[in-house]
Amino acid sequence: MGGGKMKKKNRILVENYQLSEGDKTILELAQLNDEIQKLRQKLDFSETDLHAANAEIRIQIAEQFRYSAELLSKNKVRIGLAEMALATTIELKKSRKELELQRDKVAFRTILEAKNLESKMKDVQYYQVLENIGFAILIHQDGVILYANNTALDYFKASQPGDLLNTPLALRFYGDYYRKIQQQINHLEGPRPVSMPLEVKCVRLDAALFDVEVVSSYTFHNGKPAIISRLLDIADRVLRSKAILEKNEEVNKLIVARDKFFAIIAHDLRGPLGGFMALTEILADSTYELPDGEKKQMIAEMSLAARNTFNLLESLLEWAKMDLNLVDFNPVPINLHSLCFKTKSIMEESAKAKFIEFQLDIPEEIQVYADQDMLQSIFRNLYSNAIKFTPDQGKVFVYCKPLKQRKIEIFVEDTGIGMPEHFRENLFILTSKNKRLGTKGEKSTGLGLHLCKQFIEKNGGEFKVNSIENKGSTFSFTLPLANKKQQAIVSNCL
């Protein structure tokens, strides 16, 4: 009975162990010894019983040791498995952290690559826009071209970008225009982020010049600050502006011509007509008897006034038709001597009235190529002008000399009063106030010489005036000869 309690107690102790298996065994042995002592005190065993009890106890202790050893072995396996599980858990945690770190790295690289790709896409889109835009783009830094779009290559006649890249920007602008552009760029900071448009001349690679409008602003190129300049070809605008200016000049000329036309009608034409009317009224008045001598003088004055009025009207009509481009231009071969002589005959009465000697030195064989009506008007006006400003008993010379390239120069020279320098400079300006009377009080409008210049230029000639005050004037002009043979004829005749 005592053995059953001992086993039960030992089992409770073993099942309820909290110490290590070895410590528990020692404790159980100590408890067993205490119980043995207590049994020895209570019971009186014989030596044999004692040996038997001791044997039983040893068996129980051995059993307990075996059980304890099994528990210890099982516990070691459990501890090993637990340690392995713990190690595995630690490794898994490390792997997880490493995976999370790798994931963060991949995510960071992906985001960075995405941003780089986005930036590259923006750059590609940016440059695509620059390449396909309708004006030239130059990106430059420190005066060196770093980028040029396709339009810029076309503007500067470059076959490839390398013709412009890494070259001085100053080479592409003519004269001081580059300095003006640099001055605008220097003022881009502050309230002016974009320069004002500046019209300049650029230089192509073949050295040809062309007009552009330049606007500059700041930009970035390859991550560095730079200047982007927009160049717009304004050749059409310049041509339009030039055409507008020419039209304005033409309009102004027409206005001046109109004013001159009405001024001549109001003054130069009205005066002779008024005098002519007065003389006719006197002659028509039957109650007013005039001596024959006075009547003849009045008739002569009327004839002169009528001729002057007719010549003036003819000049006015020719001038008006010329300004309105209504004059027919029909150049034909003309015998120069015959035309000069015919016109001289028309002006002969005016020359005789002032006892002016008229000398004609034009070979009969010479033929020029010109419009006959225009050429006759040229000689008529030059003859009239020479007679008007030559005093009594003066001389008028008409002669010619050959020139190169199948041309001839014709001279109308007089010994008249000549012209001061300021008269010569403004001779062909309609608005000029340089008007003066002839040596007999003849009126002058300046219209005749203006017509001469227009008609001469229309026939491919050049008009010149040489004059010395109080000594005379020489009017000369060139005309083309009728054919090649005329060059030899003129050279032989003169």
Residues facing residue 215 across a β-bridge? 230
- 5-14, 59-68, 72-81, 243-252: range with highest mean pLDDT: 243-252
Q: Output phi, psi for 53, to 5 deg.
A: -60, -40
Q: Distance (Å, rounded) from C-alpha 34 to C-alpha 36?
A: 5
Q: Which long-range contacts (CB under 8 A, 24 or more apart) does 441-445 make?
A: 442/308, 442/388, 443/268, 443/271, 443/272, 443/308, 444/385, 444/388, 445/264, 445/268, 445/312, 445/315
Query: What pLDDT does residue 329 have?
Result: 78
Q: Distance (Å, rounded) from C-alpha 118 to C-alpha 354?
A: 99
List Cα–Cα distances, 424 to 149, 152, 240, 381, 429, in angstroms. Answer: 56, 51, 34, 17, 10
What is the mean pLDDT of the segment spanning 381-390? 86
Q: Find out whether 366 and 408 touch, Cβ atoms under 8 Å.
A: yes
Query: What pLDDT does residue 19 have?
Result: 47
Query: What pLDDT does residue 303 have?
Result: 73
Query: What pLDDT does residue 411 have?
Result: 94
Q: Is the pLDDT of residue 188 over 70?
A: yes
Q: With bands split at pLDDT 50, 70 and 90, how would you rate the model's confidence at 124?
A: low
Q: Is the pLDDT of residue 2 over 70?
A: no
Compare 8 and 89 and report the one with higher pLDDT: 89
Q: Where are the alpha helices (DSSP H) in 347-420?
A: 348-353, 372-388
What is the mean pLDDT of the segment spanning 364-375? 88
Query: What pLDDT does residue 412 have?
Result: 92
Q: Provide CB contacts within 8 A for 314, sequence distance 6+.
A: 377
What is the mean pLDDT of the segment spanning 307-331? 68
Q: With bands split at pLDDT 50, 70 and 90, how would you rate the model's confidence at 268?
A: low
- 160-164, 234-238, 374-378: range with highest mean pLDDT: 160-164
Q: Provide CB contacts within 8 A for 114, sequence distance 6+.
A: none
Rounded to two decimals, the pTM is 0.47
Distance of CA 449 to the CA centre of its chain: 44
Q: Which long-range contacts (CB under 8 A, 24 or more apart) does 12-19 make?
A: 14/64, 14/67, 14/68, 14/71
Query: What pLDDT does residue 208 have?
Result: 92
Q: Find out whether 125 and 109 touch, Cβ atoms under 8 Å.
A: no
Q: Distance (Å, rounded) from C-alpha 108 to C-alpha 100?
A: 12
Name the DSSP letter for residue 376: H
- 36-40, 308-312, 418-422: range with highest mean pLDDT: 418-422
Query: What pLDDT does residue 146 have?
Result: 92
Q: Can you give the residue ranges of every domain in the chain?
A: 2-100, 133-233, 239-326, 328-493
User: Could you tell me the CATH superfamily of domain 328-493?
Assistant: Histidine kinase-like ATPase, C-terminal domain (3.30.565.10)
- What single-letter amino acid sits at 353? A
Q: Distance (Å, rounded) from C-alpha 472 to C-alpha 147?
A: 69
What is the mean pLDDT of the segment spanning 127-149? 82
State which fold the 133-233 domain adopts. Answer: Beta-Lactamase (3.30.450)
Q: Is the pLDDT of residue 123 over 90?
A: no
Query: What pLDDT does residue 39 have?
Result: 63
Count CA within 13 A, CB hemisphere, residue 214: 25
CATH architecture group of domain 239-326 = Orthogonal Bundle (1.10)
Q: Is the pLDDT of residue 425 over 90?
A: no
- 95-99, 120-124, 255-259, 279-283: range with highest mean pLDDT: 95-99
Closest CA to 494 of 411, 436, 416: 411
Q: With bands split at pLDDT 50, 70 and 90, how would you rate the model's confidence at 202?
A: very high
User: 328-493: same fold as 239-326?
Assistant: no
Count CA within 13 A, CB hemisphere, residue 117: 6
What is the mean pLDDT of the segment spanning 215-220? 87
Q: Is the pLDDT of residue 17 over 50?
A: no
Q: Is the pLDDT of residue 264 over 70?
A: no
Query: What pLDDT does residue 219 have?
Result: 83
